[in-house]
Structure 1
């Protein structure tokens, strides 16, 4: 009986040591993977990496990781020098194969996602305008709403308002709807679907020139290509998938 008890104690102790060693190895590997991804993908900082699955050491022996999650901070989009914050940038990598020297790694599949809030998207709109939710029907078409005091928005767009027309704009609000799409996997394109009557001769085309613009998302790993955008109640959500995604080397 005493021998059995001693054996059980040894099993628990060595099992605990194995788990501890396994977790230490995971933390070290996560740091190494983050560094590899940063250098190979040209990122400005190390991403946060979580290697899932247990035991980790068995995965190392098989030179294959079942599931790796990557999240990034400090990603932004830019339009004519105007920076817009991109949040919740994540990638989930499945079946990551690496060589014995850990110098190269390839994920069989990858799913990426990101988000831009309407508050952040407003930073790229003409001065005086805000970008917001367009309602369920228009959001289903991938549209967002741009609104604000008409005189202020036209002035923010650099459109001169003749004195004879200024009184026509008093108390009037501008409401326009833009369709959002993705271009080349890393660029958000906003294009006006509707504009209201602007009362100022020649203002509509000039307003379109301001409202229609591209936001280039900077700082995404080159292997993540976004292919879907959804207008939600809180902002724009992006997602994308890839196969045979190279992570290092």
Structure 2
């Protein structure tokens, strides 16, 4: 009889545990749906956001009024007219209280060659086309009827993408950037690719050349989610 009571007790505890897990996951799923709704309402997105509210148990995070981590993937987001594709949002320490604030927000996404070209042309005034050749960013233009291709190494400085010119091909010749006419050399050396419209408090921190363009990373702390737009 005692053994039977023990077995029954174990079964009851097992059922309760399953119920707690099911309830916890239901609450997490409801939170994920709410995040999808908020993102679609606040941001110019392409495709349905994929949201994962991490951490277990989730209900204790609600009681503590802070969600440990939430990740979001979106096919594309347009920030103030700048389209960023293959976007990942990584949010840490998101408060449940109003206003909703993330202790840390990391945004990664890709700028296509067409977007890079527009941003660079608007910034520099040069008739320039940016592209990717292997793992290298290139800038193509024509000078006095001669094709010019500059190989660029992008970096982030003070929240802006800047470039170092590594090689310049003038027609069939490789020349130093200093050997180019002054205005052209200055334009290439001073080339900037500003990415405006990121959420308030979020700043570019890194850039890497990828087959689809330039993969950027932006980071912010204590970011109000009302700034997502």
Shorter-chain TM-score range: 0.5 to 0.7
Residue 193 (structure 2) pairs with residue 214 (structure 1)? yes
Q: State the 1:53 CA deviation.
A: 0.7
Higher strand share: 2
Quick one: structure 1 residues 29 and 10, their matched pair in 2 at CA, closer, same or farther if it must change by over 3 Å?
Answer: same
- SS of 1:54's equivalent in the other structure is coil
Q: State the 1:174 CA deviation.
A: 4.3
Quick one: structure 1 residues 195 and 189, their matched pair in 2 at CA, closer, same or farther if it must change by over 3 Å?
Answer: same
2:219 match: 241
2:84 match: 86
Check conservation: 2:154, 2:161, Cα contact below 8 A.
yes
Check conservation: 1:183, 1:189, Cα contact below 8 A.
yes
- Aligned equivalents of 2:116 and 2:24: distance in 1? 43
Check conservation: 1:191, 1:213, Cα contact below 8 A.
no
Of 13, 16, 28 in structure 1, the residue corresponding to residue 15 of structure 2 is 13
Quick one: structure 1 residues 36 and 184, their matched pair in 2 at CA, closer, same or farther if it must change by over 3 Å?
Answer: farther
Quick one: structure 1 residues 222 and 88, their matched pair in 2 at CA, closer, same or farther if it must change by over 3 Å?
Answer: farther
**Bigger Cα displacement from structure 2, 88-97 vs 227-236:** 227-236
Q: State the 1:71 CA deviation.
A: 2.4
Q: State the 1:29 CA deviation.
A: 0.9
Q: Could you tell me which runs of 5 or more consecutive residues in structure 1 were left unpaired when the two chains were aligned.
A: 136-143, 148-152, 162-168
Quick one: structure 1 residues 145 and 3, their matched pair in 2 at CA, closer, same or farther if it must change by over 3 Å?
Answer: same
Of 15, 24, 27 in structure 2, the residue corresponding to residue 25 of structure 1 is 27
Check conservation: 2:152, 2:166, Cα contact below 8 A.
yes
Check conservation: 2:135, 2:210, Cα contact below 8 A.
no
2:149 match: 175
Q: State the 1:54 CA deviation.
A: 0.8
Give the CA RMSD over aligned residues: 4.1
Please report the TM-score for the alignment, with normalisation by the length of structure 2: 0.67
Check conservation: 1:36, 1:248, Cα contact below 8 A.
no
Check conservation: 1:75, 1:217, Cα contact below 8 A.
no
CA offsets 1:66-116 (integer angstroms, 9 cap, x no match): 1111223322589xx9x7x533322222222222xxx32222223332234
Quick one: structure 1 residues 128 and 29, their matched pair in 2 at CA, closer, same or farther if it must change by over 3 Å?
Answer: closer
- SS of 1:35's equivalent in the other structure is helix
2:44 match: 44
- Aligned equivalents of 1:38 and 1:90: distance in 2? 15
1:226 match: 204
CA offsets 1:134-170 (integer angstroms, 9 cap, x no match): 66xxxxxxxx2346xxxxx53xxxx774xxxxxxx6x
Check conservation: 1:176, 1:195, Cα contact below 8 A.
yes
5 Å matches for 1:118-157? 130-133=131-134, 144-146=137-139, 154=142
Quick one: structure 1 residues 116 and 235, their matched pair in 2 at CA, closer, same or farther if it must change by over 3 Å?
Answer: same
Check conservation: 1:107, 1:247, Cα contact below 8 A.
yes
Please report the TM-score for the alignment, with normalisation by the length of structure 1: 0.62
